[in-house]
């Protein structure tokens, strides 16, 4: 298995065109941590070579692998850990050096199906929240929230979970 193949899988899993973009966000770093760890798991490439594939140094790769392990049980990192596990299982079950177009289509369909399932779950959760909070003045714009999709829906769900945690205390 080559790092280039793993890179393509990680990019596809995250819906990215290029993992090497010089993006400094936490989310971009977390995606690279997944890539670094999978490369270390499935290639015999050095950390230096893995780093060069995305324009980074071996020290950054080592730091990313360490952080990946540190974060694996953190709630904010759950999405990245799940993607890592899915890709790990996929690569383990398909130890080919070259993936054909049909393999990528299968991966894409799998992730689209899982994403739709997650969105349905969030929509149901949101509907439940809407019903339970109708009488609270703060949520007078809940109808607008119910129309959220994709990243906005995920972001709103996280804010709601944080709100309810704080209100329980």
Predicted confidence (pLDDT) per residue in 54-80, tens digit: 889 999 999 999 998 888 888 888 889
What residue segments make up the domains of the chain, in order of their start? 1-99, 100-169
What is the per-residue pLDDT for 74?
Answer: 86
Q: What is the pTM of this model?
A: 0.57
**Mean pLDDT score, 136-141:** 53
Distance CA 28, CA 128 (A): 32
pLDDT digits (tens, 9 = 90+) for 79-124: 899 999 999 988 888 765 445 555 666 667 677 777 777 887 778 7
Q: What count of Cα atoms within 13 Å lies in the side-chain half-sphere of residue 129?
A: 23
CATH number corresponding to 1-99? 1.10.1750.10
């Amino acid at each position: 298995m080559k790092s280039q193949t793993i890179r393509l899988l990680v990019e596809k899993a995250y819906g990215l065109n290029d993992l090497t973009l010089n993006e400094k966000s936490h989310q971009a770093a977390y995606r690279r941590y997944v890539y670094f760890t999978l490369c270390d798991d499935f290639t015999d490439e050095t950390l230096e070579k893995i780093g060069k594939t995305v324009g980074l140094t071996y020290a950054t790769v080592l730091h990313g692998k360490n952080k990946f392990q540190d974060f694996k049980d953190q709630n904010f990192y759950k999405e990245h850990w799940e993607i890592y596990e899915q890709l790990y299982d996929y690569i383990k079950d398909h130890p080919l050096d070259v993936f054909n177009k049909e393999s990528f289509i299968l991966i894409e369909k799998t992730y689209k199906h899982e994403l739709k399932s997650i969105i349905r779950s969030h929509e149901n959760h949101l509907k439940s929240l809407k019903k339970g909070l109708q009488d609270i003045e703060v949520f007078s714009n809940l109808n607008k929230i119910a129309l959220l999709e994709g990243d906005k829906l995920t972001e709103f769900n996280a804010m709601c979970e944080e709100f309810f945690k704080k209100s329980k205390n």
